[in-house]
Amino acid sequence: MTIALYPGTFDPLHYGHLDIARRAARLFDHLVVAVYEHPAKPVLFSATEREELFRRAVEDLPNVRVERYAGLTVSYARALGATAIVRGLRAISDFEYEYQVALMNRHLAAEVESVYLLTSLGYAYLSSSIVKEVASLGAPLDGLVPTHVAEALAAKFQR
Amino acid sequence: MTIALYPGTFDPLHYGHLDIARRAARLFDHLVVAVYEHPAKPVLFSATEREELFRRAVEDLPNVRVERYAGLTVSYARALGATAIVRGLRAISDFEYEYQVALMNRHLAAEVESVYLLTSLGYAYLSSSIVKEVASLGAPLDGLVPTHVAEALAAKFQR
Amino acid sequence: MTIALYPGTFDPLHYGHLDIARRAARLFDHLVVAVYEHPAKPVLFSATEREELFRRAVEDLPNVRVERYAGLTVSYARALGATAIVRGLRAISDFEYEYQVALMNRHLAAEVESVYLLTSLGYAYLSSSIVKEVASLGAPLDGLVPTHVAEALAAKFQR
Amino acid sequence: MTIALYPGTFDPLHYGHLDIARRAARLFDHLVVAVYEHPAKPVLFSATEREELFRRAVEDLPNVRVERYAGLTVSYARALGATAIVRGLRAISDFEYEYQVALMNRHLAAEVESVYLLTSLGYAYLSSSIVKEVASLGAPLDGLVPTHVAEALAAKFQR
Amino acid sequence: MTIALYPGTFDPLHYGHLDIARRAARLFDHLVVAVYEHPAKPVLFSATEREELFRRAVEDLPNVRVERYAGLTVSYARALGATAIVRGLRAISDFEYEYQVALMNRHLAAEVESVYLLTSLGYAYLSSSIVKEVASLGAPLDGLVPTHVAEALAAKFQR
Amino acid sequence: MTIALYPGTFDPLHYGHLDIARRAARLFDHLVVAVYEHPAKPVLFSATEREELFRRAVEDLPNVRVERYAGLTVSYARALGATAIVRGLRAISDFEYEYQVALMNRHLAAEVESVYLLTSLGYAYLSSSIVKEVASLGAPLDGLVPTHVAEALAAKFQR
């Protein structure tokens, strides 16, 4: 039985994240979407909000669960018994950063494998930052995020 | 039960290829190393030789088998019932080429997923081309390829 | 009145090329698609065939015409009175090559501007090489090239 | 009649920006340099200052005007009737960011085309950040920015 | 007699920095490790601490000395009579930034040459940022930084 | 006393190569320009011609000599007692290839250091391939190669 971890900040999740999660769920027996509680950069949504938004987006997938974590990603992977960390690759700038993180993770926990999926073409231009910027300017979010995330963004920026 | 395909020309295999195969064998139930018979570029080793050299290198791995194939990689994956195509990523130039191939493969067979592992640090500088160049100049191949591949290369260049 | 040149080998044209041509035709008064007669790499289609295949694909666009040329691209641009050379950018490897060519072109003819359009998302994985490879393996070409180009490719590979 | 938009923060403009503006002014009937009022990053010069500095630098170009804008760039382009957004490409890191922005802009307003010019060789190393850093250390700014911008920078850092 | 400068923030130094310093010390008669006093980004260690940590790490190298500096790097190089600025290249994102800095430095002081060494394979994933992140999460630092730097990091994060 | 090696195919040398050689000659006591006799790709000029063209271009530099070599570059460096191999970096695609070669060289001869200089801005678009292509089309070569190389190219293409 293979357990895979899909870690991220997900502030908030967008269709690119959801695409990676759905595809990873077909490759592994169990997938844990792991929401990083305390990222270095300031976040728009709290860890609880980010977790709830993702949970609602994958509630139709029986082998996926969504959790929060703190500390080293590889320590959390070990604690779960995960053999793979899943990451999406969107572009070359992703690649270099991901390579650095993957090598550090292997230095820290050689038995946890990093596995990459390439972002689907239709979502290659999506990032949480650009979604937040578009939302802050009041532009429509169709095709970028699920409806419940669009509503959550609208609520944040109306305040 | 997950079947994964690891396709390539492997002319000849080097430790970077072997590293990807061993790591993929831990992630999936069955791994088929698929030697591409008729690559566009001229090869040093015949398809049979390339297949045999790889088979000998993984004979200790019970869930790995080595086969030859022709035609589209995704058609071969479909015929085997594979859900994943495994590829190693070594550098950014790999990334762009692999992205193009992965998108074309998804266009042709959306149900077969492309999965990437990053080359281990110690093998990041290895390619079959550079191995053949080093071998052709008579330099030692320790740490680059398994012994039986070094012998096969020496035999090719002594002729 | 602005005349723009869209030069290339187009062996054969695919939907990515057509997308650039159609978008450039909206930006400039006249667009000349310029088929390079004698590329360094061997071609599948003759210069006349490549020209005819492109002409047929743009016959609904009144301000576009298709021509063949030899020699320096900037000399041909000058002879036509073109102020812009249009090129599609698909990926980073394109970018470096195009930068080198653009700088050399400016060295040779400073008054001709190089203008870049980014390939539409749906065609980012298309190249003439990969289209020919897919066609040579007998896979379907829907969504990759116009029907008359698919027929021309089929004819080439059936021979 | 083609109207093109050249948007940016321009904090402050440097010779690389000016080079793009002058070259774009030769390609299109009208060029609007659009100074983004409220960028996410802190700015050294106010929107009014950035607008005035650019206006003074292009006062010899009859078909160029300089304006300020807020909100989505594509909405401003639409409001002006612009068919093209002009951007300078300096390096590969620019390319990836610009690709993401261009794809998002096409998602939001498919009728506005993004057009790229490559930075002239002599200005490839210029960025507003590095100009401000050099100015803050008191080094001479010849060849980097127009004289009136050098004076404005000196005034900022003398305060 | 050649004097080379190895400038950086070194907040704190890690084995990748030390590797560059040791290799540069074999290439040039004298090497000055130059600790930049006032970087734009906030630092964990004071300039004095960063200087002392590096000095202790190279005390066995007779032709290396460690100094602090402020202002333009090229002005400091000139003041020392250095003919070369040494920098480590780790990845492509480094390359672009370093290119920009090197071109600006040549603009400011054409007689000081920038010289690059490629990071040793074993340290390609190291950066001061990732070391600080790992240290802040309490993970072991073996193989990443010298012992006295690991102790200094532990002291900072225990406070 | 430091001996540095500047190896290459130089088919033919252009101003970018000459710029690297002149700058390296200021950094090291002795510089050996090493012309690779038997490159994998077909060459326009014989090894003797490539050597003579480079020798003539550096005859004013007393600490530079030009030689031919065969076999591994690091073996030749060892035989000469060179401590450094000098290479020019022009672009990111260079960087990846050079990284692979440098790592292989270190695997084969750890005591020979690879040192990189960045191509001067004015020559960033130069490569021997593009020079030969321009020459074959009869365009002027001013600013690209020294006069005696332009004459040698003209002679080759007039035949």
| Degrees to nearest 5, angle at CA B149 with B145 and B151 | 120
Average pLDDT over residues F127-137: 91
Q: What strands, in cross-sheet order, belong to the sheet with F113-118?
A: E64-69, E30-36, E3-8, E84-89, E113-118, F113-118, F84-89, F3-8, F30-36, F64-69
Tokens for C142? 């829907």
User: What distance in Å separates the CA atoms of residue B67 and residue B69, rounded to the nearest whole number?
Assistant: 7
Q: Do D5 and D84 meet the contact criterion of CB atoms below 8 Å apart?
A: yes
Instruction: Give the per-residue pLDDT at C136.
Output: 92
Residue F95 in contact with partner chain D when CB distance is under 8 A: no
Query: What does the alpha-carbon distance between residue E111 and residue E83 come to, in Å, rounded to a whole number?
Result: 7
Residue D24 contacts by C-beta under 8 Å, 6 or more apart in sequence?
D4, D6, D31, D86, D117
Measured torsion, CA atoms of residues A75, A77, A79, A81, in degrees rounded to the nearest 10: -150
Q: Residue F38 is encoded by which pair of tokens?
A: 């038997």
Interface contact E116-F120, CB threshold 8 A: no
pLDDT band at F73 (very low <50, low <70, confident <90, very high): very high
Angle (deg, nearest 10), helices B147-158 and B47-57:
150
* Catalytic residue of the set B14, B50, B87, B90: B90
Q: Tell which residue, A1, A68, A7, has the closest CA to residue A28.
A: A1
Q: Residue window 32-71, chain A: list those with CB within 8 Å of chain E.
A: 40, 71
Residue C11 near residue C73 (C-beta atoms within 8 A) = no
pLDDT for F100: 80
Residues of B in contact with F75 (CB under 8 A): 139
Q: Which of D63-77, E115-129, F46-60, F65-79 has the lowest mean pLDDT?
A: E115-129
Whether chain B has a CB inside 8 Å of the CB on E125: the answer is yes
Q: Order of strands, edge to edge, in the sheet holding D113-118?
A: C64-69, C30-36, C3-8, C84-89, C113-118, D113-118, D84-89, D3-8, D30-36, D64-69
pLDDT in tens, E51-103: 999 999 999 999 999 999 999 999 999 999 999 999 998 766 677 777 788 88
Q: Where are the alpha helices (DSSP H) in chain B?
A: 15-27, 47-57, 73-80, 92-108, 128-136, 147-158
Rounded CA separation A118/B101 (Å): 11
CA gyration radius, chain B:
15
Q: What integer pLDDT is reported at residue C159 of this predicted model?
A: 58
| pLDDT, tens digit (0-9, with 9 covering 90-100), for B45-85 | 999 999 999 999 999 999 999 999 999 999 999 999 999 99
Cβ pair C137, B72 in contact under 8 A: yes
Determine the residue of chain D that is closest to E94 in CA distance. D93
Regarding beta strands D84-89 and D3-8, do their DSSP bridges make them parallel or antiparallel, or are they unpaired?
parallel
C144 part of contact set with chain B, CB < 8 Å: yes
Average pLDDT, chain C: 91
pLDDT 10s digits, A65-110: 999 999 999 999 999 999 999 999 876 667 777 778 888 888 888 8
CA dist D73 and D70 (Å) reads 8
pLDDT of res. A121 = 75
pLDDT tens-digit readout, D2-13: 899 999 999 999
F104, F106, F108: best to mutate for the B interface, most B CBs within 10 A: F104
Is the pLDDT at F10 greater than 90, yes or no? yes
Q: Read off the pLDDT band of B120 (50, 70, 90).
A: confident
Find out whether B16 and B119 touch, Cβ atoms under 8 Å: yes
Tokens 């012992």 found at: E147
Closest C-alpha to B21, from B59, B69, B77, B49: B59
Taking CA atoms, F54 is separated from C130, F7, F131, in Å, by 40, 12, 15
Amino acid at D157: F
F82-106 pLDDT, tens digit per residue, is: 999 999 987 666 777 777 888 888 8
**Which of D50, D87, D90, D132 does the annotation list as catalytic?**
D90
User: CA torsion F118→F33→F133→B95, rounded to 10°?
Assistant: -50
* Displacement of CA A75 from its chain's centroid (Å): 18
Q: C107 touching D, CB under 8 A?
A: no
Tokens of B90: 């070594």
Measured distance CA(C116)–CA(C84) in Å, rounded: 10
β pairing state of B84-89 and B3-8? parallel
Distance, in Å, from the CA atom of F65 to the CA atom of A52, rounded to the nearest integer, reads 70
What is the torsional sign of CA B53, B54, B57, B62? negative
For C61-70, E100-109, F16-25, which range has the lowest pLDDT when averaged over its residues?
E100-109
Q: Is F124 in the C-facing interface, judged by CB distances under 8 Å? A: yes
Chain A residue with the nearest C-alpha to that of C121: A121
Adjacent-strand bridge partners of A6: A33
F145, F131 contact by CB (below 8 A): yes
Instruction: Look at E91 and A104 and tell me if their CB atoms are within 8 Å.
Output: no
Average per-residue pLDDT in chain A?
A: 91
Separation of alpha carbons D75 and D81, rounded Å: 10
Burial zone of C59 (CB within 10 Å; 0-12 exposed, 13-18 middle, 19+ buried): exposed
User: Residue C119 has what pLDDT?
Assistant: 83
Place of tokens 């997923």: B113
Residues of chain A with C-beta less than 8 angstroms from the C-beta of C122: 121
Q: Considering only A125-139, B3-17, C73-87, which range has the smallest mean pLDDT?
A: A125-139
Relative to beta strand A30-36, strand A64-69 is parallel
Q: What is the largest CA-CA distance in chain F?
A: 46
DSSP string, D50-105: HHHHHHHHTTT-TTEEEEEE-S-HHHHHHHHT-SEEEEEE-SHHHHHHHHHHHHHH
For every residue of B40-71, DSSP letters joined together read SS--SS-HHHHHHHHHHHTTT-TTEEEEEE-S
pLDDT band at E148 (very low <50, low <70, confident <90, very high): very high
CB contact under 8 A, E91 and A99: yes
Query: Residues of A with CB below 8 A from D75's CB?
Result: 139
- In three-state secondary structure terms, F86 is strand
Selected residue with higher pLDDT from A122 and C129: C129
pLDDT value at position D74? 93
How high is the pLDDT of residue C91?
Answer: 67
Considering CB atoms only, which of F92, F121, F124 is closest to D92?
Answer: F92
In chain C the beta strands, taken as DSSP E runs, fall at: 3-8, 30-36, 64-69, 84-89, 113-118
What token pair was written down for D122?
């002599």
Contact F33, F145 (CB under 8 A): no
**Interface contact B108, partner C, CB < 8 A:** yes
Q: What is the mean pLDDT of residues B12-20?
A: 95
Task: Evaluate if pTM is beyond 0.95.
Answer: no
Cβ atoms of C58 and C18 closer than 8 Å: yes
Residue E35 token pair = 């600790």
Going across the sheet that includes A3-8, the strands are A64-69, A30-36, A3-8, A84-89, A113-118, B113-118, B84-89, B3-8, B30-36, B64-69
Rounded CA separation D103/D96 (Å): 11
Token pair, residue E142, equals 């073996």
What is the b/e burial string over D149-158, where b = at least 16 CB atoms within 10 angstroms of the residue's CB?
Answer: bbebbeeeee
Mean pLDDT of B135-151: 93
**What residue of C is the nearest CA neighbor of A124?**
C121
Contact C35, C69 (CB under 8 A): yes
Question: How many angstroms separate the CA atoms of B94 and A104, rounded?
Answer: 21
Q: Does pLDDT of D91 surpass 70?
A: no
Find how far residue D95's CA is from the centre of its chain.
16
Q: Is B132 an active-site residue?
A: no
Exposure of F49 in the CB half-sphere (CA atoms within 13 A): 13
Query: For residues B92 and F99, what is the distance between their CA atoms, to the nearest angstrom?
Result: 12
Q: For the residues D54-81, what does the mean pLDDT come to?
A: 96
**Can you give the pLDDT at residue B34?**
97
